[in-house]
Amino acid sequence: MKHKLRIALVVMVIIIIIITGILFEELSTMDWSHDYDYDNGFQRKMEEAMGYTKDLDPSLKNMNELKFHLLSKNNNIDKFLSRSKQNTTVMYDTSVERLFKLLESIPEFRFSRKKLRNGNFEDMVLRLSKYSRTQSPFLYDQNLDIGSNNYRQFHQHIRYSVLYDTEDPVIDGLIHDMSSDTITSVEMMEEGTELKLFMKMKKGTEAVFKPMRWGREHETLPNHYYFNDYERHNSEIAAFHLDRILGFYRVPPVTGRLVNMTSEIFRLAGKTLRRTFYVSPIGNLCFFGVCKYYCDSRHSFCGNVDMIEGSLMVWLPDDLEAERRRWKSPYRRSYSKFRKAEWEENEDYCINLLDETSVYKYPRYILDLVDTHIFDFITGNMDRHHSEIFEAAGNDSFLIHMDNGRGFGKANVDEYSIITPLRQCCLIRKSTFIKLAKLYIGPERLSNLLDMSTRKDPLYPVVIQGHLNAVDRRVLHILTLVAECVKGSNSVDDVIIEDGY
C-alpha cells in the first residue's frame, strides 16, 4: 500500500513539474508591455488612445524639446507632420455657381466674383466687422478703471456686438499670459458633465482649464449619442481660432498649454481634488476630480508621467455691468434616446420663431442663431443647448459661443441637422454669406487659414488633416443650402439679409 502511495506521489510531482514548465514557457513568450487587461480593458484602451509611456528622457530640459517629445508620444506628431497637406475637397457645386451668377446680375447686391477672388480674406473680414469691432457701444464705462493687466483690459474692451477687437494687442497679450504665466490657484468647477478646473495666475488672469482626454485622431464612437460624447481640449482651441478667422469674435480667447500635474495642479489643489490623484500601473500620474457625470477612475485624465495638455479659456467678467442672461436655444436637442425635439419633426417650426409675438423676435437674434449653427456645423458640435447674452446690451447683444468641446469628433460625417435653422428659416446674414462665398471662390481655403492660425498655439498641431478637409466640405454644403433657399424664394433679399453686422 505504501509502495503504491509513493508511486502516486512521484507521478503527481512529475505532472506538476511538466505543467509548471509549460506555464513558464508561455509566460516568458508573452508581451507584458501590452497584454494587461485590468478594469475590463477600459484603461488599456484609454492608454492606447492617449499613447502613454514611461520613457520620458530626463535630459529634456528645454520646454520646447519637452513639448515636442510629449506630443510625439501622445499624438503621433511625426505622422501629422509627414502627412500631405493636399486638400481633397473640390469646391464646386452647380447650384452655387448659378447663385453667384444671379447675384452678379443684381447691381444693388454689389457681388463680384472677380473682386472676391482678387481680394484678401483677412482684409475683407476686418472691413465687414469694422462697425462691430470699433463702433458698437462698450459694455463697460470706459472712464471706469477696472485694471491695467491684459485680463482686465480684455474685459474693459468688450462691446455689445463682439467680445474683442482682433486688432487689439491686448488679445494676443492675454493669450500669451494664459499659456505661460505662473499658475497660483486651482479649484474644481463641479457644475457640468465633465471636470473643469478654475485657474488663477500671477498676473491676475483667470481661466478655465479642460485637460486632455483623447488624442487628436480619436473619433466619436459611432454608437454614442451626442450627449454621451466626451469633450476635447483641442476642439476648444480650434473653435476659438475658427471664430476669429470668420470674424465673429464671439468665442472667449483660448490657448493650449502643457501643464505639470505635480507642481501646477496637485500642489495647488484642495483636499477633495487631491484625493482623486493616483499613479497608473504604467507609472503615469492620473486624476478624475468631482463633477456630475464623468468623474471617476474609469474616466481619469492621465498625463505622460506628470505632464498633460489642456485648453485654457479666459474667464468672462461676472460683475454687475457684465451680468449674463442664459437662454434655452429654440433649436435645443431633446437629449433623449427615445424622443425628438419639436424642430426635428415640424418643418414649419421656424415660422413660429419669426412671429411678431415670439420672444425670439428682435432685430439680430435669428441671424445670430443661424451664425451660431453655421459655426457649429463647421466644427461638428451638436451640443448647443443654451445661448448667453450680456444683460446690459439687451436686444443688441450678440450670442456668446461658449462650450465648444464637443466639436471635431467626426471627420467624415457632416451632421446636417446642426444647420436646420438655416434650412427652415432660409435666412443668413449678408456678411456671413460673403465670407463663405470668398472661401468657396478662393484662393484661400478655410482649412489652410485654420491650420496657419493654430500654428501659433503651443500645442500645434491642433487639428488633423481629416478635420481640415471637413471644414472646407462643410462650407460648400452651407452655400448649397443657401442656393436652395434663394431658388425657392421671391427675392434674394428675403434670404440674404443686410443688417449692418
DSSP for 344-400 reads HH-TTHHHHHTSTT-TT-STTHHHHHHHHHHHHHHHT-----EEEEEGGGGGGPPPB
**446-494, pLDDT tens digit by residue?**
999 999 999 999 999 999 999 999 999 999 999 999 999 999 999 999 9
- The reported pLDDT for the residue numbered 53 is 42
Look at the pTM and tell me if it is higher than 0.85: no
d(CA 317, CA 81): 39
C-alpha dist (Å) from residue 460 to 72, 215, 222, 351: 11, 12, 27, 44
Catalytic pick among 383, 403, 451, 457:
383
Q: Enumerate the domain spans of the chain.
A: 73-142+318-497
- The reported pLDDT for the residue numbered 2 is 55
Helix (H, G, I), strand (E, B) or coil at 309: strand
Where would I find the H helices in 141-202? 150-156, 169-180
Which residue stretches of the chain have pLDDT < 50?
Answer: 23-63, 65-66, 69, 72-84
Give residue 326's identity as a one-letter amino acid code. R
Q: Is 168 labeled as catalytic in the residue annotation?
A: no
The DSSP bridge pattern shows strands 196-201 and 307-314 to be unpaired
Q: Nearest to residue 247, comparing CAs of 446, 403, 468?
A: 446
Where would I find the H helices in 30-86? 42-50, 63-74, 77-82
d(CA 314, CA 134): 22
- The reported pLDDT for the residue numbered 59 is 37
Q: Per DSSP, what are the bridge partners of residue 196? A: 189
d(CA 495, CA 480): 13
d(CA 288, CA 300): 5
Helix (H, G, I), strand (E, B) or coil at 187: strand
